[in-house]
Amino acid sequence: MPLSETVTSERLVEFALNHYMLVLALAVVTYLLIQELIDSAFKKFAFVSPLTAVTKMNESNTVVIDVREQDEFNKGHIEGAVNLPLSKIKDHTASLDAYKVNQVLVVCQEGMRSSSAGKIIIKAGLKNVFVITGGMQAWQEDYKYPIKINRKH
């Protein structure tokens, strides 16, 4: 090995030992980026904006699955949406069979839970799954689309 390569590798080792927190942070960030790239490469659902979701809803074979908890759903949801909370979706995957021929739009409050639900729904055998970006927050605040509120009498 030439002298310059030996000096460089020694300096890298010295840097790593002196700045182990930075090296550890770099390793963690690299791992998370690679994991995200792999997840996005293998996911079988697409993200759609609320505007595109409305276009899809105007087609007759579309169902909206709201994966928020029941109390969140009751405060306001998309008209005709089916409430299937993410916390219970794994126990009710058999009920998803009814939607195998449908386009499925998945929504939550901000878009985080719906991505997890999208993966579960795909594993349950549904093919045309779309996650609404921004969730109900974007639906109501950004796009000003109407919601239905369940009122207790």
The strand order across the sheet containing 46-48 reads: 46-48, 129-132, 103-107, 62-66, 82-83
Question: Out of 48, 64, 78, 108, which one is annotated catalytic?
Answer: 108
Residue 152 a catalytic site member: no
Is 137 in contact with 108 (CB distance < 8 Å)?
Answer: no
DSSP three-state, residue 131 = strand
By CB neighbour count within 10 A (0-12 exposed, 13-18 middle, 19+ buried), where does 113 fall? Answer: buried
Helix axes 20-42, 3-18, angle to 10 degrees: 90
**Residues designated as active site:** 108
